[in-house]
Structures are given as C-alpha cells and as structure tokens.
Amino acid sequence: MEETLRLISRVVIEIGLPAGLVLFFVWRDFAREKSLADYIRVQESFTRDKLLAIIQSDTNLVNLNITCLRDFMQTIIRLYDTLAMKPCLSEALVKENLELRMRIQRLEADLAGTRNA
C-alpha cells in the first residue's frame, strides 16, 4: 500500500496532477474490485463446502423421516385392517386403554394428594 502511494506520487510529479488523479482513481477502483472479488470467493467457498454439506445432511434426514412416516402409516393401516377383521381385539384394546386411563387418573390423584399434604 505504501509502495503504491509512493509510485502514484512519483507519477503525479512526472506526468502531472490530472493524470495522477486518473491513475489514483483507477487504482482505487481496482482495489475495490479486488476486495469484492475476494469476498465473493469466500462466499462461494462457504456455499460449496459448508452449505452444500448442510443441505445434503438435511435432505438425508427428510428422506429418513419420510421413510419412517411411511412405515408408521403402513403399520397403522395393518392395525386398522386387523381390528376390522377381529372386532374383539378392538373391544379389548378399548377396555385396556380405559383401565390404563383410570390407573393414571388414580396415580395423578394420589400424587396431587401427597403434594397437598
């Protein structure tokens, strides 16, 4: 930078102020463009190296979630088909669910009673 300014001042002395100013503005714009090009290079590197890896990882996770959801839905469909063919299982499942809910309510009541005591 200092060397460049010395060179510009020598040019101004040798060829005059107007030509020196033109040279200075050309140099300044070149430095600005170089800085912008370096910034763009860093952004492209980030996009290429990090962002694409993150996107690939997220895509893999979404695909895994879709596969799990598909498997879950197939299991639910099989369960409904089984319950449609064997309604006694459905009644047993409902009864078991009710008993479980009643047990949970009793535990919650007991827990609330111990908190208040």
Q: What is the pLDDT of residues 38-77, one digit of tens each?
A: 999 998 988 888 888 888 889 998 889 899 988 888 888 8
Find the mean pLDDT for residues 67-89: 81
Spatial contact of 8 and 21, defined as CB atoms under 8 Å apart = no
Pair (54, 101) in one structural domain: no
Q: How many domains does the chain have?
A: 2
Do 66 and 45 share a structural domain?
A: yes
The separation between CA 71 and the C-alpha centre of its own chain, rounded to angstroms, equals 25
pLDDT value at position 86?
Answer: 75
Residue 49 vs residues 38, 57, 85: alpha-carbon distances, Å: 16, 13, 55
Question: Distances in Å between the alpha carbon of 95 and those of 23, 25, 106?
Answer: 91, 86, 17
Provide the domain limits for residue 16.
2-85
Does 7 share its domain with 55? Answer: yes
Tokens 């107007």 -> residue: 18
Q: What is the pLDDT of residue 117?
A: 55
Tens of pLDDT, residues 6-45: 877 787 788 777 877 787 788 889 889 999 999 999 989 8
* 3-class DSSP assignment, residue 43: helix
Across the range 84-99, mean pLDDT stands at: 73
Does residue 68 sit in the same domain as residue 99? no
The whole-chain average pLDDT of the chain stands at 82
pTM: 0.43
- Which residues lie below 8 Å from residue 21, measured CB to CB, with a gap of 6+? 12
What's the pLDDT score for residue 1? 65
